[in-house]
A and B are shown apart, each in its own frame.
Chain A
C-alpha cells in the first residue's frame, strides 16, 4: 500500500500542517510518497525528503504550479495518485480548495478534517461544529482525505532520507490566473502552530483597543487570534479568525478576551490544553469550556495581566 501526501509549501519550505498529514499517513500504515509541486521548488522537495517516514518525494516543477491553483494542481495530483491507496493533504485553505476537485476527478468521496485514523478505511471527523464526532468508513478504492493538524503531531522534519523522483508536469489548463495577494505580515508565531494564543472578540470594541491583545500576546510570545465578530467588525484581518469555518487551533494555552463563546468559535479552540476566559458577562458560554474564568472588565484586567506577567 502506498499513500500520497500532497505537500503545502512556499516553494522553499514545507508548511507545518504538511508534517501532520505525514503522521496521519504513517498511522494508516504503508509507504509514504510526498508530492511537492511548485515553481523552482527544489528546496521544498529536498526538505520533504528529510522528513522522517517519507519513502519517496515526487517533485514537479512548472511555472503554472507556482501559486497552487486548484485547476492546475488537481490533474497533476490525479496523475500522481495512480496506484495509490490514499491521497492526503492538510485541511488548510490549500487542501480544502484542491482536494475535493481531486476526489471528484477520481470519482471518489472525500473525507474532510480527519482527526483520527481507526483503520485504513475508517476515520473519525467532527461534524456540526465539533458538537459530534462521526466515524466513517470509505467504500472507495482510493481514499481522499484532508487532515486536521490539531489531530496529529508533526512528523519530525529531519531523520528521513527519501529518494526524489522528478514528475513530468501536466499541461496548464489556463482556467484561472493568479493576480495578487495581500498576506498579513507578522513577527508573531503562526496561529495554527503557536503554543500560546491570545484571542480577542467583540468586547474589545475597536481596532485600536485590539492592540491590547497584541501587547498581551507579545508579552507571552503568543500568536493573536480573533472571533468572527471581531473580524466582521474590521478590528483585524480575516486570517485571524478562529472557529468552525476559520482556523482550528489547539495550543497549550488559549486566552479568550472579550469573546462570548458562540458554538462556531468554540469549534475552533476547545481542544486547547488550557483555556482562560476573561469576560465581564459571568453568563457568557465561553466560561463553560474555560479552565480558568475571570469575570472582569477586560479594559482593567488585560493591562493588569500584562503588568503581572512582568513580576
Chain B
C-alpha cells in the first residue's frame, strides 16, 4: 500500500504574528517557519502504519516555493521514502491546492491520502475534504484513530458531541486531529539519511492546474483588543465584583 502525505509550511506554532501596517496581510519576514503541526501528525501516522507493516511506501508532497524543500526534508527524516515539491510562486488557496494534489494522486495512485485537518495560518480546514470531492473518494476527517480492517479503513473521528466511528472504502482521504498520535522528534542520523532520499520538483504549471485565487483579501486587521483587566486580591473580592459590578453570577 502507498500513502501520500500532503504537508504545508507555516509560521511556527509558537510565534505570535503581527498584522502589517498597510493591512495587506501578516508580517512573515524573518519568522521561524515549520511543518504545520497537523501535517506532522499526518506524517507520524503514515510512518506508524509503515512500521506496523500495512504500508510499503510513503510519499510526502507540498505545494509552494523552493523554500518549502525544508519541510519535505523533515518529512523524509521522519520516515517518508520520497518527496515531491510542486513548485509555484502563487500563494495557492485550498481549492487550487486540492486540484494540484488530485493531479499528483493521479500519477502516484496511493490507496490512502493523510492530511492535517487544518493549517494553523489560514485556519481553513478545507483541503482534505475538497481533495476527497475531486477524487470521488470517501473521507474520514478529524481522525483520532485509524485501523485497516476488512479491506477498508476504520476511522474514529473527533466530533462536537464526542467520538464517531466510520468505515471507509479504499481509496480514502483521512484528515488528522490532535489525539491521533504524538509526532516523534527527528534524530540526527535520520536527518543525515534524509539528505540522500529522492526529492522531485515538478512545476505546478506542468500539471495544468489553474491556481488563480477565487478569493481576494481586501484587508487584514488586528482583532479588537480587550480592555485592561485587574488582579483581585481574594476570592471574596472576585465574587463581589462578578455579582455587583458585572452581574454575571
Contact = CB atoms under 8 A, between A and B. Distances in A.
Interface of A: 67, 69-71, 74, 92-94, 96-105, 107-113, 122, 126-140, 174-184, 192, 196, 220, 228, 231-232, 237-239, 241, 244-245, 247, 252-253, 263-264, 270, 273-276, 282, 287, 289-296, 301, 304-305, 308-309
A180 B220 contact: no
Contacts of A139: 214-216
Q: How large is the interface on B (under 10, 10 to 19, 20 to 34, 35 or more residues)?
A: 35 or more
Given A140-B214, A238-B163, A287-B229, A308 B239 contact: yes
Contacts of B11: 128
Interface stretch (B76-84, B135-143, B196-204): B135-143
Given A103-B95, A136-B218, A305-B239, A239 B166 contact: no
| Among all A-B residue pairs, the 6 with the closest Cβ atoms | A100-B129, A104-B133, A104-B130, A100-B126, A109-B214, A175-B138
Contacts of B248: 196, 252-253, 273-274
A308 B242 CA distance: 12
Nearest to A251: B248
Contacts of B163: 181-183, 237-238
A231 B178 CA distance: 10
B222 interface: yes
Contacts of A241: 178
Main secondary structure of the interface of A (DSSP, over half): mixed
Nearest to A175: B138
A132 B223 contact: yes
B191 interface: no
Interface of B: 11, 13, 16-17, 19, 26, 38, 93-95, 98, 117-118, 120-134, 136-142, 144, 154, 157-169, 177-179, 213-223, 226-227, 229-232, 234-236, 238-239, 241-242, 246, 248-249
18 contacts: A94-B159, A96-B142, A100-B127, A104-B129, A104-B131, A109-B213, A110-B95, A111-B215, A133-B220, A134-B217, A139-B215, A177-B167, A237-B163, A239-B158, A253-B246, A263-B16, A289-B226, A305-B238
Given A70-B141, A101-B139, A183-B162, A133 B123 contact: no
A228 B137 CA distance: 31
Given A232-B178, A304-B235, A101 B159 contact: no
A131 B223 contact: yes
Given A133-B221, A134-B217, A244-B120, A110 B179 contact: no
Given A127-B123, A181-B165, A97 B129 contact: yes
A292 B26 CA distance: 30
A103 B126 contact: yes
Contacts of A131: 16-17, 26, 222-223
